[in-house]
Amino acid sequence: MAVEGGMKCVKFLLYVLLLAFCACAVGLIAVGVGAQLVLRQTIVQGATPGSLLPVVIIAVGAFLFLVAFVGCCGACKENYCLMVTFAIFLSLIMLVEVAVAIAGYVFRDKVMSEFNKDFRQQMQNYPKNNHTVSIVDRMQEDFKCCGAANYTDWESIPLMPKDRVPDSCCINVTQGCGISFKVKEIHEEGCVQKIGGWLRSNVLVVAAAALGIAFVEVLGIIFACCLVKSIRSGYEVM
């Protein structure tokens, strides 16, 4: 039995929300992949809260897309079981997103400390590993920084001459510019404060976005429950 009256409006609004959920799902997957690439480039390694967050975001995005598809089928066919399943799964996704938002806020400072530890470790490996050289050089050039706390950190690195910093520390990067450098010709600020602060702020943005999507999902749950109630009433009349 087809829904009638005001439920037609609810059904239409649910379709609109389902399209929004699909867009959010694709957005979450894109954000998760982007965050994973950024964390790899900034040398955050290991199964830490900061490094696991992108994986959770990607998983939530993929699951949200699947749930949106189930909801679309349920609304189109006005199927009671599919709509109940949709409402339950959407509620679970909302809870996970709220948990991700809380975790992002709680671990915002953890991201900074993890990056500080990993960056200093890679500085130790800089003279011995070409892959580390390319990653550290790219970060120092992109963020216009030098060393962990400041450029003097390179003085304590084994196998690095005392009067030398990587060429990527130079304001104008040229071959050999870091040899016998002048302080005014290099970036003095450390990378931990610059890049770590950037990572921290982006974690908070992701957390805020998760809360925003969760609010929209609450509307989806309400509309789904209204449609479920209408479908059930139609079955009872029959």
What are the angstrom distances between the C-alpha of 56 and each of 13, 109, 146, 231? 29, 19, 32, 34
| pTM strictly above 0.75 | no
pLDDT tens for each residue of 181-228: 899 999 999 998 888 778 777 777 777 777 788 888 888 888 888 888
pLDDT at site 66: 92
pLDDT at site 107: 75
Q: In the chain, which stretches have pLDDT less than 50?
A: 1
